[in-house]
């Protein structure tokens, strides 16, 4: 997927990306989100609820890359199962999202946290 630039501010873009969306078949809700340290990546745990399957739901991690171009803010989204080449996802998100997982990517996220001294306990990066 390419980039979509449309928002007049970064705050508006983040609000749009984290607000619920809905159509006839499903509803998408943001369970948790966090902007990374440099402000260029918005990590989110998303819950997809399928209305036509008795509200069966799945949770997964999305990596929204954020940038501005010609006065507009935009994004490009990558789901965990596509193995984004970004690894500063909050560790707590790994336990929150149980669908569409990529174990290789999760291992690299844990390694990134170990190497950057961010984990608060050994069990958090096991």
pLDDT recorded at residue 119 = 57
Instruction: Give domain status of residue 126, yes or no.
Output: no
Q: What average pLDDT does this structure show over 29-39? A: 96
Number of domains, the chain:
1
Averaged pLDDT for residues 39-53: 95
Return the sign of the alpha-carbon dihedral for residues 82, 84, 85, 87: negative
Would you say residue 124 lies in a domain? Answer: no
pLDDT, average across residues 14-35: 97
Query: Considering the chain, what percentage of its residues have pLDDT values greater than 70?
Result: 93
Is the pLDDT score of 107 beyond 60?
Answer: yes
- DSSP, collapsed to helix, strand or coil, labels residue 36 as coil
In a domain, 94, yes or no: yes
CA 112 to CA 87: how far, in whole Å? 6
87-110 core/surface letters (b: 16 or more CB in 10 A; e: else)? bbbbbebbeebeebebeebbebbb
Residue 118, pLDDT above cutoff 80: no
For residue 41, the enclosing domain spans 4-119
User: Does the residue 26 lie in any domain?
Assistant: yes
Residue 19 lies in a domain: yes
| pLDDT score recorded for residue 1 | 60
The answer to whether residue 15 sits within a structural domain is yes
pTM: 0.88
Examine residue 41 and state whether it is found in any structural domain, yes or no: yes
pLDDT classification of 55: cutoffs 50, 70, 90: confident
Residue 59 forms part of a structural domain: yes
């Amino acid at each position: 997927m390419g980039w979509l630039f449309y928002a007049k501010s970064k705050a508006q873009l983040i609000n749009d990306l984290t607000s619920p969306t809905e159509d006839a078949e499903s509803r998408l809700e943001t369970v948790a989100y966090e902007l990374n340290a440099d402000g260029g990546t918005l990590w989110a745990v998303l819950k997809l609820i399928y209305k036509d399957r008795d509200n069966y739901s799945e949770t997964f991690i999305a990596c929204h890359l954020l940038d501005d171009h010609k006065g507009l803010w935009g994004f490009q989204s990558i789901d965990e199962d596509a193995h984004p080449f970004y690894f500063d996802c909050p560790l707590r998100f790994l336990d929150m999202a149980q669908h569409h997982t990529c174990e290789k990517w999760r291992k690299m996220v844990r390694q990134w946290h170990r190497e950057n001294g961010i984990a608060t306990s050994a069990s958090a990066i096991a």
